[in-house]
Amino acid sequence: MKNISKLLLVVVFAAVLVYLPSLVAKDDLGSRPDVQNTLEKREAIRNMIAEMRAEIEANGYSYTVGYTSALQYDLETLCGAKPELEMPIATPVFHIENVAATEALPAYYVSPYVTAVKNQGSCGSCWAFGGIAAFESAIYKKDNVEVDLSEQYIVSCNTGGYGCSGGWWAYDIMVNPGVPFESCFPYAATDLPCDHNCTYPYQALGSGFAGPSNGVATVENIKQAVLDYGAVNTCVFVDSVFQAYTGGVMDRCRKNTSRVNHMVSIVGWDDSVGAWKIKNSWGTNWGENGFIWMKYNCNLIGYGTTYVVY
């Protein structure tokens, strides 16, 4: 009998040793500041999405919202398009002539020369991703080869002082000396030094404007640029609703928007809904597998539209 009692005591003691740490951990978890902050942030996001959905229903908007990977970051972290940092472009600059309204542009078009959606992560490097996306499309259209070029090289080696805190067009470096492959200078979402031994397999001939450098290009000119070059780099004003976008046509347009804060790529259009198809750089867990449909001229979409000549 004594042996049985001793055995029971041993079993109970072992069980306490096994389960006590996990119980303590559970008790501590709720009081840890980092966990508490995470829980509070999740609750705030849930409430924000509920308010957005109520606004969509009340106004009959055509898009949907939900939790996306972009919501893990502050908007300021993602939006690094800063026109105030613009520097003169030293390499050749081309211009699309005004397209006549009677010209036969298709009512629906999505470029077949669009490279894979990428993710800028916790770095305000949308300006680099937008430029590289346009360059990759120009290469794809001319050479019929899909390449993956290095955004980190643009972030680290540009001469304008641009970085994760923001930037603007960086076309000069694409012309001279050119851009290496992503595999040689992988993206790290941080301001790494310009330290590499890469070659430059692709050099652009220059860049071009589809409209004014400090204004919104016409719908016809943007369409023509997409047809000619595969995709264009452009700016837009975005907010938390854009961050939470999961599908449909973004037709919630702010009135009197006076600034842009994000760079994206226009890759197609659909006149039946009056919207651009846009490739973003927030990964495939945002939007429609990384893309969004947005109404023409909504939130200054088309501001400073440029393309890469290859």
Question: Given a cut of 70, is residue 19 above it in pLDDT?
Answer: no
The three-state DSSP-derived secondary structure of 210-262 is CCCCCCECCHHHHHHHHHHHCCEEEEECCCHHHHCEEEEEECCCCCCCCCCCE
Distance CA 286, CA 71 (A): 9
Mean pLDDT of 106-116: 98
Distance CA 244, CA 274 (A): 21
Q: Are residues 277 and 268 in contact, defined by beta-carbon separation less than 8 angstroms?
A: yes
What are the phi and psi torsion angles at 240 (to 5°)? -65, -30
Find where tokens 């640029």 sit.
225
Catalytic residue among 79, 119, 123, 126: 126
Rounded to the nearest integer, the mean pLDDT of the chain is 89
Q: Are residues 232 and 169 in contact, defined by beta-carbon separation less than 8 angstroms?
A: no
SS3 62: coil
Q: Where are the domains of the chain?
A: 2-31, 64-309
Task: Judge whether 235 counts as a catalytic residue.
Answer: no
Over the stretch 248-265, which tens digit does the pLDDT of each residue have?
999 999 988 889 999 999
Over the stretch 222-241, which tens digit does the pLDDT of each residue have?
999 999 999 999 999 999 99
Question: Given a cut of 90, is residue 121 above it in pLDDT?
Answer: yes
Which pTM value belongs to this model?
Answer: 0.86
Catalytic residue among 221, 233, 262, 299: 262
Identify whether 186 is preceded by a cis peptide bond (ω within 30 of 0): no
Task: Judge whether 280 counts as a catalytic residue.
Answer: yes
Q: Which pLDDT score, from 0 to 100, does residue 97 have?
A: 67
**Weakest mean pLDDT among 2-6, 181-185, 267-271:** 2-6
Distance CA 121, CA 127 (A): 13
Q: Which pLDDT score, from 0 to 100, does residue 38 have?
A: 83
DSSP 8-state code for residue 14: H
Question: Given a cut of 60, is residue 309 above it in pLDDT?
Answer: yes
Check residues 85 and 1 and name the one with the higher pLDDT. 85
Task: Judge whether 262 counts as a catalytic residue.
Answer: yes
Question: Given a cut of 50, is residue 216 above it in pLDDT?
Answer: yes
Specify the CATH number for 64-309; select among 3.30.450.20, 3.90.70.10, 3.50.7.10, 3.40.366.30. 3.90.70.10
Q: Are residues 237 and 260 in contact, defined by beta-carbon separation less than 8 angstroms?
A: yes
Q: Which pLDDT score, from 0 to 100, does residue 17 have?
A: 41
Q: Which pLDDT score, from 0 to 100, does residue 89 have?
A: 94
Q: Are residues 86 and 209 in contact, defined by beta-carbon separation less than 8 angstroms?
A: no
Q: Which pLDDT score, from 0 to 100, does residue 255 have?
A: 86
What is the share, in percent, of the chain residues with pLDDT greater than 70? 86
Q: How many residues does the chain have?
A: 310
Catalytic residue among 235, 280, 298, 299: 280
Mean pLDDT of 116-123: 98
Question: Given a cut of 70, is residue 92 above it in pLDDT?
Answer: yes
Q: Which pLDDT score, from 0 to 100, does residue 148 have?
A: 98
